[in-house]
Amino acid sequence: MITSNNNIKSKDPFDILIFEKGLRIKNVIIDKSLDLLVLILNNGKLIQSKISYYKRLKQASVEQLNNWTLIGQGIGVNWKDIDEDLSIKGFFKDAALKNVLKKLQNKELEEMIS
């Protein structure tokens, strides 16, 4: 991202994707019974996570979950009824962390079984 003070571009790969390459959320699919949250991006990619990873989303009703709006021209999602916002950047970081933790836990289980 170009800063307003000195025109230095960000080296953060998430900022580059979002602010320089224009990655945006195009749509959101939510299925509470499957504990599934899917972001459809403007490049055709799908990014999924579990609703239960987010406390407020987990506690929300189906109606509240389906009452979302895109914010910041698609760089985030807002659920006004439950006062929750998710940014693409935050979503990616949370998903990456959870994925790494899951792999590490699976690796530990595999080693215990072996």
pLDDT digits (tens, 9 = 90+) for 52-65: 989 999 999 999 99
The C-alpha atoms of residue 8 and residue 58 are separated, in whole angstroms, by 39
pTM value is: 0.77
The predicted structure's pLDDT at residue 113: 54
Percentage of the residues of the chain whose pLDDT score is greater than 90: 60
State yes or no: pLDDT of 43 exceeds 80: yes
Per the structure block, which two tokens stand in for 38? 């899917």
The predicted structure's pLDDT at residue 93: 85
Over residues 25-52, the mean pLDDT reads: 95
Domain architecture of the chain: domains with CATH: 25-113 (3.30.2020.40)
List b or e across 75-99, with b for residues whose CB sees 16 or more CB atoms inside 10 angstroms: bbbbbeebebebbbbebbeebeeee
Cα distances (angstroms) measured from residue 26 to each of 5, 42, 76, 98: 31, 5, 10, 23
The predicted structure's pLDDT at residue 72: 96
The predicted structure's pLDDT at residue 111: 60
Is 25:74 a contact under the CB 8 Å cutoff? Answer: yes
State yes or no: pLDDT of 109 exceeds 60: no
Is 65:57 a contact under the CB 8 Å cutoff? Answer: yes
Return all residues near 91 (Cβ < 8 A) that are at least 6 apart. 39, 47, 49
Of the two residues 100 and 21, the one the predictor is more confident about is 21
For the chain, give the mean pLDDT: 87
